[in-house]
Amino acid sequence: MTADAPPTLGLRHLALFIPDALFDATVRFYREGMAMDVDWQPDPDNVYLSSGPDNLAIHRALDGKVVDQGTSPLDHLGFCVPSAAAVEAWHARIAGGAATWGLPAVGATKRHRDDSTSFYFRDPAGHQVQIIHIPSLRG
């Protein structure tokens, strides 16, 4: 951050459009699988979830809005965890619940060149999700 920039709290909000047929399963996964709480649900088509310092908005794609993960510019969304051991614990949780939550596959954990540890999987709507520990990341 440069000295002349106003302060921010970091990138802590993401909004995703979800196809109507996958909306309920996707909300269920983030609530049950990722243990996120409903912060606000203004109507049946919009749910705002949080795990504390963040906010994930799930919007039902309506009125013919096409949602195509194959051409989306979003590569993945990541959940940072406090340690490599936490990555392993999340891997066991997600892999163990994959069938319940409608997750197609869960990748193996991997240590990266920067000493971070992570794994990837796709949520019920097809978004690639990463669980990652980044040693250099502060609070």
Short-list 137, 123, 135, 134, CA closest to 36: 123
Provide the domain limits for residue 88: 13-63+75-133
Instruction: Report yes or no on 139 lying in a domain.
Output: no
The mean per-residue pLDDT over the stretch 85-112 comes to 96
Sheet holding 110-111, edge to edge: 77-80, 128-133, 117-122, 110-111
Output the pLDDT for position 75.
86
How is residue 106 annotated by DSSP? Answer: B
Output the pLDDT for position 49.
97
What is the C-alpha to C-alpha distance for residues 50 and 5, in angstroms, rounded to an integer? 27
Instruction: Report yes or no on 2 lying in a domain.
Output: no
Residue range 119-135, pLDDT digits in tens: 999 999 999 999 999 99
- Considering the chain, what percentage of its residues have pLDDT values greater than 70? 97
Residue range 35-80, pLDDT digits in tens: 999 999 999 999 999 999 999 999 999 988 787 777 777 889 999 9
Tokens of 4: 């002349």
The mean per-residue pLDDT over the stretch 5-20 comes to 87
Instruction: Report yes or no on 50 lying in a domain.
Output: yes
Instruction: Report yes or no on 8 lying in a domain.
Output: no
| Residue 91: CATH number of its domain | 3.10.180.10
What is the C-alpha to C-alpha distance for residues 139 and 118, in angstroms, rounded to an integer? 18
Output the pLDDT for position 139.
62
What is the C-alpha to C-alpha distance for residues 39 and 49, in angstroms, rounded to an integer? 5
Instruction: Report yes or no on 24 lying in a domain.
Output: yes
Output the pLDDT for position 69.
72
Quote the pTM value.
0.87
Q: Where are the beta strands (DSSP E) in 44-106?
A: 46-50, 55-61, 77-80
Instruction: Report yes or no on 47 lying in a domain.
Output: yes
Output the pLDDT for position 1.
56
| pLDDT-wise least confident of 5-19, 94-108, 114-128 | 5-19
Instruction: Report yes or no on 1 lying in a domain.
Output: no
Instruction: Report yes or no on 138 lying in a domain.
Output: no
What's the total number of domains in the chain?
Answer: 1
Strand, coil or helix: 30: helix
